[in-house]
Amino acid sequence: QVHLVESGGGLVQFGGSLRLSCAASGFTLDYYDIGWYRQVPGKEREGVSCISSTDDWTDYAESVKGRFTISRDKAKNTVYLQLHSLKPEDTALYYCATDLSSTPWCGISYNTVNFWGEGTQVTVSS
């Protein structure tokens, strides 16, 4: 079976940092663009960041530029999202996702993904 498993969320104070991990099992992340998304109850899920399969392209939502960094560790089959300077408005359930396709989508559209993890909760206190 193939899975994406997120971890690293938690409760952090305003201005704090977290590192989220997205680990794959049953398949290799190397071949796919991978994205991070977040959702707050009552709001639509939004694309936060993505990284291309070749690791030469990354994209960030305007709201997180300069504060979040996406990276990939191929040896660990894991994609990370480093979160710095966290704000209460960053509070959300964070998911990683891909479309399990070799077609590039990072930097084009966050809406093509169809394979999701269960999410990890990030809560930022003021």
Burial 88-115 (b: 16+ CB within 10 A, else e): eebbbbbbbbbbeeeeebbeeebebbeb
- Residue 91 has what pLDDT? 98
Q: What is the pLDDT of residues 39-85, one digit of tens each?
A: 999 999 999 999 999 888 999 999 999 999 999 999 999 999 999 99
Q: What is the pLDDT of residues 86-107, one digit of tens each?
A: 999 999 999 999 998 889 999 9
Q: How far apart are CA 75 and CA 64, in angstroms?
A: 27
